[in-house]
Amino acid sequence: MTVTDSPAVGGSQPRLHQKGQVIQEFGTVKQFPIGLSYEARMYACQRLNQLLADTQILHGLYKKHHWLVRGATFYQLHLVLDKHAGEQLDIVDALAERVQTLGGVAVGDPRHAAEITSIPRPPNGVEEVPAMLSRLLEAHEAILVAAHDAAARAAGLGDDGTNDLLVSQVVRTGELQAWVLAEHLVDTPLVRS
């Protein structure tokens, strides 16, 4: 018997290497008294989890590009990409908590998110800055298209909370971030006109 297995160690020894049963499967929704039908909650959880996976990947892309950005606008882009990454991380948390509020199971493992995302995987190496920004813009557009559709459908199902989250956080933040990124791709002189 090792020291960690000894019953004499008492209650201060952590019980390590525990395994448990899955008590709720991914893709299911338990009943919560929140005034929404099972169908509305199931629909919202499915759509929110897809957006959650995509947003986790977008956050990862922002961090990757924040670390790997190069060139004359390095400092400005380094800062803005990190700011956007932080804002996306806030959205990740809001989406996951909404899924949980609806009685679902949020996509919490990055490997699971990578399996179900609709956002294409970038190369492992460093891309040129315009390609990085274009990749981020394409991810934003995919998320925005899905968020607009899901918000409208959630509203039609009477799910005001999901509609509000999608419009006020996912759409508004995504549109603003896309605008900032797109303006970095305008080919305009820096000193003379």
- Per-residue pLDDT band for 2 (boundaries 50, 70, 90) equals low
| Contact between residue 131 and residue 184 where contact means Cβ atoms under 8 Å apart | no
pLDDT at 1 over 60: no
pLDDT at 66 over 60: yes
Q: What is the pLDDT of residue 6?
A: 56
Q: What is the pLDDT of residue 147?
A: 98
Classify residue 12 by its DSSP letter.
G
pLDDT digits (tens, 9 = 90+) for 10-51: 688 999 999 999 999 999 999 989 999 999 999 999 999 999
Confidence (pTM): 0.92
**DSSP assignments along 152-193, one per residue:** HHHHHTT-HHHHHHIIIIIIHHHHHHHHHHHHTT----SS--
Rounded distance between C-alpha atoms, residue 66 and residue 82, angstroms: 6
| Contact between residue 154 and residue 162 where contact means Cβ atoms under 8 Å apart | yes
Average per-residue pLDDT in the chain?
94
Q: What is the pLDDT of residue 154?
A: 98
Q: What is the pLDDT of residue 192?
A: 78
Q: What is the pLDDT of residue 126?
A: 97
